[in-house]
């Protein structure tokens, strides 16, 4: 946890946030705080039925209401479907024929005030013909199930199948086989700032969309197709954003709707979701049913794994396919398992459609996989730790799914987490307290994706040195609260040899900053950071050339440190960077501009997996300690110790923030959080009924940094934003089993499930003793 | 019909005409241009709209603007004295007690009111004091540490 000593001047230090002063004084302007002259309020009419045909929409009365400036339905739009994975796009910004979930967008209004806009929504008359609806993905697979997309003839949106090795034979050779069914719940991101956007056109018909986005350049592409407008006619700006966590990676219907409203009214339009709309329409973590089969030898060698996964895709395609297919890759990690079979079904239901939320499928599959490891250890009479250590991947290993591991501190993570917690002494101790472990692997530098038609994992940065030697760093990378602006400034300062305080950062404006694919897959530090390193090297090269001229020395003989460039070995023979900058601008007439790009140097696209590989992988092991109240079924998490292989902690305080924050979300989804859908309607669409953690619910968190120094990471760093919540549910489930001997295989692990399991366990043991 | 109210906001007295249905949050954000208090749930569940009225924290989204008549309101914009931050604000920066920063104004004001009311809260009292403010980014522990940091700073200064 300690800061690095003298090795570096800027990285490895806990610099406070660049934007700290603004954020603690209320000066930060979020999108929802922004007003423009003449701006209109946009509101969306959403479907009240989970599945219905739209017979007619009459907007006449709404249009006549004084103060209403635009009313739109699908007929006012080009009806181009969108999806972050364009190949499977089937969501219209405004639906025209059918609605498929409670919340589907069908019309929208722009009015002078919110009150008028809401009144206008009430005046829109829609005639629906209700259709039978389906809400459980396993039921949706039955032959007589109602179809969401009749033209496809099935509710299977996507199917992904893959086999590595010879799974059938491997299971025949296994000494023990375990088969279990696990289930996860829909967990919603609860961003504190509701999703919102502001659209406006200038006199030339050029669009500016200020959006809550993690990926402005992807949004520009998505929007360009749907509006449609050429890329050059669109500017996307991301302002400070009140939370995203993956859920704001792709376009939402409100983005194009806002644009259509602005185009029709000729005015800027702002749409802000209500909190209820956030709960009803946000991209949440897909719920999955996971059938897992694991084969193991007597000595604890895991020989085969087979998973059948059914993902509730909800009503429209979004990331169901990539998230589900990606699980196959996850199964080939953590442990070296030679034979793996994966069968994934992405199934339509009349629930809201899901998406990415911190972990990208990993929390779901890791809950199942690491619970299973605990069950196998129990069956073999082995300790979880020994069983894990026997099978884990090592540095340099290439998975059967073709992922090249470079740095890997997984073994150290496990051993440190166990040592710190006194694992062996506490395990299987009598009483109501229990201890459980789980581990994970996650992309540490983004994933290879298709951007348009190009396969890449790319970011770029530009740097302008001013005449006083200060630097403006411009990058497409989006700080969504995690603190990437600060870390990228640290990287720039380190590489340039100037002070952190002398860097200003401008990000995520498609007119002003170079391109970046966005903030996802733990890629900004690794990919964005490397782009910044390269831009800084470009600036440094220009400075060295200037210094070489002024100092009459070879570039190779010069060194840059602490804001000065000097001849190696004779620091007195040098010149300060501000002097060089001044010289460049005023004597040479040459601005100092640097540029840098970075694309994954290792990965090759693997079309077979349907999911990209990463240039680096992060690892973590967690130990949860819990206390279970057998009277009430309540679980108290006493402490979670989380050891992370993160390459290098570039800003230890920011890293800790990522781990602490993710962990709170992990504990929440393990024990409390679930959208309670009944017939497609979320009954808990508010903060009182949807239980996210409060300050009173958090437990002690003990983060441990394992610095494996990745060969390709900027200063050895890898991503660490997502991992901390990935193994939490399994670690807690395993700890609960250790405490009271019941195995809960569905999330969240609520008191009623524990009480029911305890009752069943007691009645079985009672029956057993009676029979004896 | 509009109501006339006299209120002090961040130390400045105002005579204002407000609609009877306006919330204090609407008054602050729309009329006064004070956007530090946030509109996140509109139902008094998340605490993003927290301000201090006559020394007590309130949810400004549940408080009618007319209730501010004759009262003193402190918003996040009034906490620092120019460039000089309040110790709570400083501690939030030093301890990394925020990420996205959206809940931060409310969280800081709740922390301040807590410390004003109870100069030496224990861990449980600190957690209770901020439990009406939701934060999705930090997991709260670093916020609790920031508040403890303020207490330790007071001890050091004597």
Chain A nearest CA to B139, separation (Å)? 4
pLDDT value of position A641? 98
Question: Which residue of chain B is at minimal alpha-carbon distance from A240?
Answer: B100
pLDDT in tens, B11-57: 999 999 999 999 999 999 999 999 999 999 999 999 999 999 999 99
pLDDT value of position A87? 87
Cis peptide before A228 (omega within 30 of 0): yes
Alpha helices, H only, A392-528? 410-421, 423-426, 484-496
pLDDT value of position A604? 65
Tokens 């989970």: give the residue.
A50
pLDDT value of position A3? 47
Residue B42: its chain A contacts at CB < 8 A?
A: 274-275
Mean pLDDT of A397-407: 93
Chain A nearest CA to B94, separation (Å)? 6
Across the interface, whether the CB atoms of B76 and A242 are under 8 A apart is answered no
List the single best residue of A192, A485, A689, A701 to mutate versus B (max B Cβ within 10 A): A192
pLDDT in tens, A74-88: 999 999 999 998 889
Give the number of other CB atoms < 10 A from CB of residue A575: 17
List the single residue in A29, A193, A694 with the smallest CB-CB distance to B131: A694
Across the interface, whether the CB atoms of A14 and B143 are under 8 A apart is answered no
List the single best residue of A14, A23, A244, A642 to mutate versus B (max B Cβ within 10 A): A23
Q: Nearest Cα to A742, choosing from A635, A621, A622, A641?
A: A635
Task: Supply A433's token pair.
Answer: 């307290």
Question: Which residue of chain A is at minimal alpha-carbon distance from B34?
Answer: A26
Q: By the CB < 8 Å criterion, does B34 face chain A?
A: yes
Give the number of other CB atoms < 10 A from CB of residue A127: 11
Cα–Cα distance measured from residue A386 to residue A177, given in angstroms and rounded to the nearest whole number = 19
Question: Which residue of chain B is at minimal alpha-carbon distance from A188?
Answer: B136
Mean pLDDT of B56-75: 98
List the single best residue of B100, B103, B105, B127 to mutate versus A (max A Cβ within 10 A): B100
pLDDT in tens, A654-691: 999 999 999 999 999 999 999 999 999 999 999 999 99
A649 contacts: CB under 8 Å, gap ≥ 6: A12, A655, A705, A707, A717, A720
Distances (CA, A) of A518 to A226, A447, A460, A525, A755: 20, 11, 11, 11, 44
Average pLDDT, chain A: 95
pLDDT value of position A765? 77
A669 contacts: CB under 8 Å, gap ≥ 6: A185, A187, A285, A363, A725, A728, A729, A747, A748
pLDDT in tens, A156-179: 999 999 999 999 999 999 999 999
pLDDT, greater one: A533 or A7: A533
Show the 3-state SS of A149-210: CHHHCCCEEEEEEEEECCHHHHHHHCCEEEEEEEECCCECCCCCCCCEEEEEECCCCCEEEE
Q: By the CB < 8 Å criterion, does A480 face chain B?
A: yes
Tokens 């779901």: give the residue.
A364
pLDDT at A611 over 80: no
Q: By the CB < 8 Å criterion, does B22 face chain A?
A: no
pLDDT at B158 over 80: no
Across the interface, whether the CB atoms of A660 and B142 are under 8 A apart is answered yes
Handedness of CA A435, A440, A445, A450 (dihedral sign): negative
Mean pLDDT of A384-400: 97
Q: By the CB < 8 Å criterion, does A317 face chain B?
A: no
Q: What percent helix, strand, coil does chain A show, rounded to 5? A: 30, 25, 40
Q: By the CB < 8 Å criterion, does B10 face chain A?
A: no
Mean pLDDT of A712-739: 98
List the single residue in A660, A686, A700 with the smallest CB-CB distance to B41: A686
Cα–Cα distance measured from residue A290 to residue A362, given in angstroms and rounded to the nearest whole number = 12
Contact B37, B25 (CB under 8 A): yes
How many CB contacts within 8 angstroms connect chain A with chain B? 165
Distances (CA, A) of B100 to A20, A209, A552, B148: 10, 21, 49, 21
Q: By the CB < 8 Å criterion, does A698 face chain B?
A: yes
Mean pLDDT of B138-148: 98
Name the DSSP letter for residue A600: -
pLDDT value of position A2? 40
Question: Which residue of chain B is at minimal alpha-carbon distance from A193?
Answer: B40
Contact B132, B47 (CB under 8 A): yes
Q: By the CB < 8 Å criterion, does A28 face chain B?
A: yes
Task: Supply A340's token pair.
Answer: 């793996």
Chain B nearest CA to A273, separation (Å)? 9
Mean pLDDT of A533-562: 95
pLDDT in tens, A567-597: 998 889 999 999 999 999 999 999 999 999 9
Mean pLDDT of A189-217: 97
Cα–Cα distance measured from residue A8 to residue A19, given in angstroms and rounded to the nearest whole number = 23
Across the interface, whether the CB atoms of A275 and B42 are under 8 A apart is answered yes
% of chain A at pLDDT higher than 70: 97
Across the interface, whether the CB atoms of A698 and B141 are under 8 A apart is answered yes
List the single residue in A481, A694, A698 with the smallest CB-CB distance to B137: A481
What's this model's pTM, rounded to 2 decimal places?
0.97
Residue B35: its chain A contacts at CB < 8 A?
A: 26, 29-30, 33
Question: Residue B151's pLDDT band (boundaries 50, 70, 90)?
Answer: very high
Tokens 């130390």: give the residue.
B11
Question: Which residue of chain A is at minimal alpha-carbon distance from B138?
Answer: A661
Q: By the CB < 8 Å criterion, does A703 face chain B?
A: no
pLDDT value of position A593? 97
Contact A495, A486 (CB under 8 A): no
Across the interface, whether the CB atoms of A686 and B43 are under 8 A apart is answered yes
φ/ψ (deg, to 5) at A58 = -115, 115
Across the interface, whether the CB atoms of A189 and B136 are under 8 A apart is answered yes
List the single residue in A20, A29, A695 with the smallest CB-CB distance to B127: A695
Show the 3-state SS of B72-89: EEECHHHCCECCECCHHH
Mean pLDDT of B86-108: 98
Cα–Cα distance measured from residue A420 to residue A24, given in angstroms and rounded to the nearest whole number = 35
What is the C-alpha R_g of chain B?
A: 16
Q: By the CB < 8 Å criterion, does A363 face chain B?
A: no
pLDDT value of position A1? 38
pLDDT at A452 over 80: no
Across the interface, whether the CB atoms of B134 and A17 are under 8 A apart is answered no
Residue B92: its chain A contacts at CB < 8 A?
A: 20, 24
Task: Supply A40's token pair.
Answer: 């209109």
Contact A675, A614 (CB under 8 A): no
Give the number of other CB atoms < 10 A from CB of residue B43: 15
List the single residue in B35, B90, B92 with the smallest CB-CB distance to A29: B35
Question: Residue A196's pLDDT band (boundaries 50, 70, 90)?
Answer: very high
Distinct helix (H) and strand (E) counts, chain A: 19, 30
pLDDT value of position B1? 84
Chain B nearest CA to A294, separation (Å)? 35
Give the number of other CB atoms < 10 A from CB of residue A702: 18
């Amino acid at each position: 946890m300690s800061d690095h000593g003298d090795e570096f001047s800027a990285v490895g230090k806990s610099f406070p946030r660049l934007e700290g002063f603004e954020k603690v004084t209320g000066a930060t302007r979020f999108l929802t705080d922004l007003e423009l002259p003449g701006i209109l309020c946009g509101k969306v009419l959403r479907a009240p039925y989970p599945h219905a045909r739209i017979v007619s929409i009459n907007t006449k009365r709404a249009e006549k209401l004084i103060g209403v400036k635009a009313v739109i339905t699908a007929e006012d739009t080009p009806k181009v479907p969108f999806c972050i994975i364009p190949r499977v796009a089937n969501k219209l910004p405004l639906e025209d024929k059918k609605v498929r979930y409670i919340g589907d967008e069908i019309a929208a209004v722009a009015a002078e005030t919110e009150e008028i806009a809401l009144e206008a929504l009430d005046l829109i008359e829609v005639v629906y013909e209700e259709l039978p609806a389906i809400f459980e993905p396993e039921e949706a697979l039955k032959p007589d199930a109602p179809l969401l997309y009749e033209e496809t003839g099935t509710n299977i949106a996507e199917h992904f199948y893959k086999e590595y090795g010879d799974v059938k034979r491997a299971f025949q050779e296994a000494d023990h086989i375990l088969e279990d069914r696990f289930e996860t719940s829909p967990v919603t991101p609860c961003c504190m700032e509701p999703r919102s956007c502001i659209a406006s056109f200038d006199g030339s018909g050029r669009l500016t969309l200020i959006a809550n986005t993690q990926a402005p350049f992807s949004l520009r592409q998505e929007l360009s197709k749907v509006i449609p407008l050429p890329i050059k006619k669109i500017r996307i700006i991301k302002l400070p954003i009140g939370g995203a966590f993956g859920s704001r990676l792709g376009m939402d219907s409100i983005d194009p709707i806002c644009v259509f409203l602005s185009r029709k009214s000729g005015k800027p339009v702002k749409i802000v979701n209500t909190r209820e709309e956030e709960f009803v329409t946000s991209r949440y973590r897909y719920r999955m049913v996971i059938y897992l089969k694991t084969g193991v030898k007597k000595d604890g060698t895991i020989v085969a794994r087979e998973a059948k996964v059914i993902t509730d895709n909800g009503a429209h395609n979004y990331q169901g396919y990539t998230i589900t297919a990606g699980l196959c890759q996850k199964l080939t990690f953590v442990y070296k398992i030679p034979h793996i079979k994966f069968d994934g079904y992405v199934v339509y239901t009349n629930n809201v459609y899901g998406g990415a939320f911190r972990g990208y499928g990993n929390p779901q599959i890791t809950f199942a996989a690491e619970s299973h490891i605990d069950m196998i250890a129990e069956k073999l009479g082995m300790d979880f730790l020994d069983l894990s250590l026997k099978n884990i991947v090592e540095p340099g290993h290439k998975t059967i799914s073709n992922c090249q591991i470079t740095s890997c501190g997984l073994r150290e993570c496990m051993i440190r987490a166990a040592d710190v917690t006194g694992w062996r002494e506490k395990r299987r101790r009598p009483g109501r307290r229990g201890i459980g472990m789980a581990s994970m692997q996650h992309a540490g530098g983004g994933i290879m994706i298709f951007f348009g038609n190009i396969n890449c994992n790319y970011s770029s940065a530009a740097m302008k040195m001013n005449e006083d030697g200060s630097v403006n760093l411009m990058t497409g990378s989006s700080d969504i609260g995690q603190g990437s602006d600060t870390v990228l400034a640290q990287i720039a300062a380190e590489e340039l040899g100037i002070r952190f305080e002398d860097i200003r950062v401008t990000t995520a404006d498609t007119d002003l900053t170079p391109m970046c694919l966005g903030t996802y897959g733990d890629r900004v530090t690794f990919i964005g950071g490397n782009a910044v390193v390269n831009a800084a090297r470009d600036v440094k090269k220009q400075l060295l050339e200037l210094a070489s001229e002024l100092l009459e020395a070879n570039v190779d003989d010069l060194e840059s440190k602490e804001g000065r460039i000097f001849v190696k070995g004779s620091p007195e023979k040098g010149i300060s960077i501000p002097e060089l900058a001044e010289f460049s601008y005023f004597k040479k007439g040459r601005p100092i501009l640097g540029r840098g790009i970075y694309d994954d140097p290792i990965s090759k696209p693997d079309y077979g997996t349907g999911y990209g590989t990463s240039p680096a992988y992060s690892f973590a092991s967690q130990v949860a300690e819990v206390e279970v109240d057998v009277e009430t079924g309540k679980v108290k998490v006493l402490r979670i110790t989380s050891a992370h292989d993160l390459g290098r902690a570039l800003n230890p305080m920011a890293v800790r923030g990522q781990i602490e924050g993710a962990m709170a979300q992990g504990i929440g989804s393990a024990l409390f959080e679930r959208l309670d859908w009944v017939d497609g309607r979320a009954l808990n669409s508010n903060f009182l009924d949807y239980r996210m953690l409060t300050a009173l619910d958090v437990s002690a968190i003990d983060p441990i940094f394992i610095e494996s120094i990745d060969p390709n990471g900027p200063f050895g760093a890898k991503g660490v934003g997502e991992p901390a919540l990935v193994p939490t549910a399994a670690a807690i489930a395993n700890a609960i089993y250790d405490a009271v001997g019941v195995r809960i295989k569905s999330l969240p692990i609520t008191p009623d499930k524990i009480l029911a399991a305890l009752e069943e366990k007691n009645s079985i043991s009672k029956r057993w003793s009676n029979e004896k | 019909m509009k109501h006339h109210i006299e209120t002090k906001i961040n130390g400045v007295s105002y005579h204002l005409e407000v609609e009877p249905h306006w919330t204090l949050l609407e008054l602050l954000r729309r009329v006064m241009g004070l956007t530090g208090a946030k509109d996140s749930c509109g139902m008094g569940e998340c605490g993003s709209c927290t301000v201090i009225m006559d020394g007590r924290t309130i949810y400004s989204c549940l408080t009618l603007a007319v209730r501010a008549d004759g009262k003193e309101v402190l918003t996040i914009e009034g906490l620092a004295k120019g460039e000089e931050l309040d110790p709570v604000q400083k501690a939030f920066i030093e301890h990394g007690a925020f990420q996205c920063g959206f809940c931060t104004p409310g969280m800081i004001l709740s922390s301040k009111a807590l410390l004003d009311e109870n100069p030496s809260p224990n861990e449980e009292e600190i957690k209770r004091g901020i439990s009406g403010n939701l934060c999705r980014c930090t997991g709260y522990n670093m916020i609790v540490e920031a508040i403890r940091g303020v207490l330790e700073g007071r001890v050091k200064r004597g």
